[in-house]
Chains A and B, each alone.
With several copies, the nearest count.
Chain A
C-alpha cells in the first residue's frame, strides 16, 4: 500500500516533481492542489515555531486509499495524491499536500474540498504545536 507520509516538510521541489509526473497524462485538463503551511499562531502569548506530527500510519494509509477511490469515482477524476508530514515541521514549511487531476475543471473544486476536509476529520494524525519558549500544546481539528 502507498504511504501518504513523508518524514519532515513537503518541499516545493517535491510538488514540482509531482506536477511534472502528470504532464505525460494527456487526458488531463485540470489540476488542483491544496497545501497546508505551518502558520505562526500565537497561543497565550507564545509564538508557534513549528508543529510535530505523529499518526497511526497504517490506518491512515488504508483510509487515504479508500478516500482516493471513493472520490475518483464520485467526481470522475483521473487521480488523487495525498501527502502528510511526520515529525517536526517549522513555521512556513508545508505539512500537507493534496493533488488531484481530471479531464475538466468543474468536478475538481468540490472534490478538493471534500478530500481535504475528510483527511482532517477522519485520519488519525496528531499535531503538537511547539512554542518559542520550548513549551508545547496539542491541537484538535474538532
Chain B
C-alpha cells in the first residue's frame, strides 16, 4: 500500500520536495520509519518525529492511511 509523506522545515530542502508517496508493506510506525530512511537516506542525520492526524506517533500508535508528517527538530518561539 501507499501512504503520503509530508515534509516540513529543513527536510523539504534536504529531500527537495514537500510530499512523497511511500510504498509500505505494514501500517506500523517502525516499518514506515525504516522504509523512509531507506528511500530517503538524506534525512538519516536528522532527529525526526512523525505525526498523523495532527498527533505525534510512536511505536504503539494505531495508524490509518492518512498522510504522515515528518518533522525535523522544532524551533518555534
Could you tell me which A residues sit within 8 Å of B by CB distance? 36, 53-56, 58-60, 62-63, 84, 95-96, 105, 116, 119-128, 138-142
Within the complex, the shortest CB–CB distance from A65 to chain B, in Å, comes to 11
Q: Indicate if the CB atoms of A126 and B77 lie closer than 8 Å.
A: no
Number of B interface residues at 8 Å Cβ cutoff, please give it.
16
Q: Indicate if the CB atoms of B51 and A126 lie closer than 8 Å.
A: no
Q: Which of B51, B55, B76 contacts A120 (CB 8 A)?
A: B76
- Given A124-B8, A126-B8: A56 touches B51 (CB 8 Å cut-off): yes
Give Cα A116 to B76, complex, Å. 10
Q: Which of B8, B47, B51 contacts A54 (CB 8 A)?
A: B8
Give Cα A124 to B74, complex, Å. 5
Q: Indicate if the CB atoms of A126 and B54 lie closer than 8 Å.
A: no
Q: Indicate if the CB atoms of A126 and B72 lie closer than 8 Å.
A: yes
Q: Which of A62, A63, A120 contacts B77 (CB 8 A)?
A: A120
Q: Indicate if the CB atoms of A138 and B72 lie closer than 8 Å.
A: yes
- Given A59-B54, A126-B8: A140 touches B77 (CB 8 Å cut-off): no
